[in-house]
Structure formats: C-alpha cells, structure tokens
Chain A
Amino acid sequence: MSDTTNQTGTPRVKTGLAEMLKGGVIMDVVTAEQAKIAEDAGAVAVMSLERVPADIRAAGGVARMADPTIVESIVAAVSIPVMAKCRIGHFVEAQILQSLGVDYIDESEVLTPADEEHHVDKWRFTVPFVCGCRNLGEALRRIGEGASMVRTKGEPGTGNVVEAVRHIRAVSDEIAWLKGLRGEQLYAAAKDLQAPYDLVKWVADNGKLPVVNFSAGGIATPADAALMMQLGCDGVFVGSGIFKSGDPAKRAKAIVEATTHFEDADIIARVSRNLGEAMVGINISDIPDSERMQERGW
C-alpha cells in the first residue's frame, strides 16, 4: 500500500536535516544583521541567542532562552536553517522554540540548566534536537532521549580548542574500543557507558555514531575548524569565535573554506592570512570548576 500523505517529524526527517548540514559551519548570532553576515559568509545555519557564550560567561547569573523577538527577527532575516538554544531539561522553552518555527533546538549547557537530573524528552517534538556530549556514553544517552544530532561540547566562550579536541578524541577512542568487543562484552560496556544497550550494539556493529556529530566550544580560527574535521567531526559550530573577532565577515568566510578544504593545507594557509585579531582566549585552568559549562548535562 502506498502512503502519499506527508509524514512529518520522523526520525529520518529529523536526522536528515543534520545530514544536509555536514561539512558546514553553524554560527552563533545575536542580531538579524549578524545572521545576514553569517549567511553571506556561507554558514549552513545560524544559532540564534541573546548573548554569545563569551558574554554569558562575562555576565554571570542565569542564562535563559533568548527573547522570542530576537529569534523571530533572525528567522525572518535569513533563508538558511535557524537553530535556537533552550536550557537543559526546560521542555517549555523547547515548546516555545518549536512554536516560533526554529529548524533545530539546541538543548544546551551554555545556558543555565533548568533540571539537574533530566533532559528534555526529545521524542515528543516534531522539530529535531542537537545536544552536547563529552564522551560516547553522554552522546548515546542524548540519542536515547531523541537527539537527532550531537556536538562535542568543548568549553564554550573560551576561544580555546583544547576541550573540543579532548571530547572528540574521547568519543572516537570509545567507538574504537566498542568495535573490538565480543557480543557478550557489549552488555557490560552498556553498563559502563551508562547508555542504552541497543545503541551501544549499533555503534559496535557500525563503527560510528548513529547521528551526525559536529564540534563546538572553543573554535576560533580556520586551523581550529580543519583540526576538528581531520579528527573526524562532521562539521563545526563557531560561537564567540566569529563576532568576538576583529573582522567577523572575513573570519567567517575563512572558517567556512577551511571546513570544506580541511585536508588541503595550501588552502587553509591562504585563508588564514590577515584575518585581523582573533578573540582573546581563556586558559581552561583559569576557569573555576563551577563555571565550566561542559560539566552541565548528565
């Protein structure tokens, strides 16, 4: 029997949009004007928020979902997909973002968590979710809750790529470890990873994550973006790195080109020239444990 009615919100449709973003750069923007700059530079999507992570870090206090007016003005300004962040576990912020027509919801550790035990039940939404992870277990827990895309967390708002590297290496190493296990060992592995067994088995059989994985949290230069791509990420999020730099339009375009040509050092060298001042970075050891965003999420 053929079914010609439109079935929306299926897993394939949700993960499919992430597949279309691969090899691309998703940029944090706080105004419609920045969103246009990002689109013109070749961004595959924009993340609409009230403050970039570096400013959230500086401001302190509770960081929440952006004002709907900001999200709407960005949705109206560009034709590329628009993402927006809700607090971890804040399913009403997620409901609002879905009603505003955003294309992807980021349940994000950059904002202050609303629930220290539960994440949003993402299966209940038509709009897909992306979530952060530091290791394979965290990635698979989020996918088990219905995330259609993951991103390694890094440490947002630092301009320091070291945590992003640590997290993608952790995920890759754990996938390689699972591949080498025998069938009966996978049950114990699922227990160790605190992840659903069927997802652990899928990763062991296929040698990769079941959804697209981008890199986030600390990417500031074209070389950083290419590094994350060579380490196996499917694409990159750049948060504070663009609009906290000296020449955002030029830097944004250079990061887009380096992400596409991530194995071509001649091109990366060319686009890295004369980009002006990069954002001032922060050493991770200078951030108190309580202010590390990556520790949020369970």
Chain B
Amino acid sequence: MTKRIGVLALQGAFREHMISVEALGATTVAVRLPEQLEGLDGLIIPGGESTAIGKLMTTYRFYEPIIHRHAVGMAVWGTCAGAILIAREIADCLVDQRSLELMDINVRRNAYGRQAASFEADLDVAHIAGGDFRGVFIRAPWIESVGEGVEVLARHGGHIAAARQGRLMATTFHPELTGDPRIHRLFLEEIVGE
C-alpha cells in the first residue's frame, strides 16, 4: 500500500517536505483545511513561523482534528516550528500560544538566538546508517527535556535536536533543506510504519 502523507501547508517550507516524501514513493497532500486530514497515514508539520502557523491552526480549527487523527493512528513529525507545535510544553510560551500537546517534550523557541546565530553542523542521528547528518538550524528551538518513553535521536552542543515517541517524531533542524533523504525515510519506515 502506498503511504499517504499530509504536509501542513498553512505557511513555511511545506513544498520541500512534499518533494522529499514523494521521492521516497509515498503520495502527498498539501493540507490547508482540517477535512484534508482524513485518510492520512502521517502528517508533517513543517518549519515556518510557529506563531503564524499556530494562529492559522486556531482560525481554521486544526487542533482537535489533528489530536483525534493521531489518537486513531496518524503518525506526526514536527520540524522546527512543527516540533514546537507538537510539544507537550513550550518553555517560553507566549500568552495566547497553544501547542497540540502530543509529544512528551519541553521545547524552547529560538533557543540558539536570532538569525545571526543560525548554523549548520554535523549530527550523529540514531537509527540512520551512512554517517553524520548535516543539520541546518534556523532560528531553531531546542528540546529542553523529554519525558519517560521518549527516545532521544540526536543531540547538538548538549541539547536535544531530535527525538521520537511512538508515532511521533520531532527534529529542531531542517532535513528538507539538505536533499538527504535519510530522516524522511526513517519517518516513513519506522514512525509511520506498515
């Protein structure tokens, strides 16, 4: 069965995720309305501005449908802004900011600093073969702490950069900007699964 992967397309780098996923043989849906979540095996919440995406998720009533679809089996992967949006807790939460509270992680927004501090670095990522993965961190968050049952997949400079928990995965960097398919493959094969 071909896997059907949605990419939340409210704002941000959704096209790059769709290209990466399609190159691995799955079909993709650009999700702009909640009814488009129907029938998805997995959902990617891309990088972008977490406040802008969060506000559009509120206006277009995405929170309950995503939580419900995940509860009945839809895998979810958040990159950068997406990692913030799936976190149980946002360390420096804005007053009216809300996350999906799916994954037992605590995330700090813009943790490395402003754009001048954005960087690339090699990462040792668990479960992927073939050596280091080039991490692209853009005004990136870090994962400050994880709960029990969360497996840390990668660290950088003492902070957690990638983690998984059941049918959830979070990366604070941008695999979709590198052309390296290994983390997308990990999502499709191990997080979405059969």
Contact = CB atoms under 8 A, between A and B. Distances in A.
B11 interface: yes
A201 B32 CA distance: 35
Interface residues of A, number: 43
B132 interface: yes
Contacts of B32: 260-261, 264
B40 interface: no
A138 interface: no
Contacts of B51: 39, 42, 79-80
A2 B124 contact: yes
A16 B123 CA distance: 18
Contacts of A261: 32
Contacts of B120: 6-7, 10, 12-13
Contacts of A102: 114-115
A139 B110 CA distance: 30
A2 B131 contact: yes
If over half of A's interface residues share one DSSP class (helix, strand or loop), that class is named, otherwise mixed; here it is loop
A44 B52 contact: yes
B118 A17 contact: yes
B52 A126 contact: no
Contact of A128 (B9, B115, B123, B177): B115
Interface string A9-23: 110110011011111
A42 B56 contact: yes
Contact of A20 (B12, B132, B178): B12
B116 A45 contact: no
B110 A79 contact: yes
Contacts of A217: none
A73 B156 CA distance: 32
Interface string A161-202: 000000000000000000000000000000000000000000
Interface centre among A4, A6, A7, A16 (most CB of B within 10 A): A16
Contacts of B96: 40
Interface of A: 2-10, 12-13, 16-17, 19-24, 39-45, 79-81, 98, 101-104, 126-128, 253, 256-257, 260-261, 264
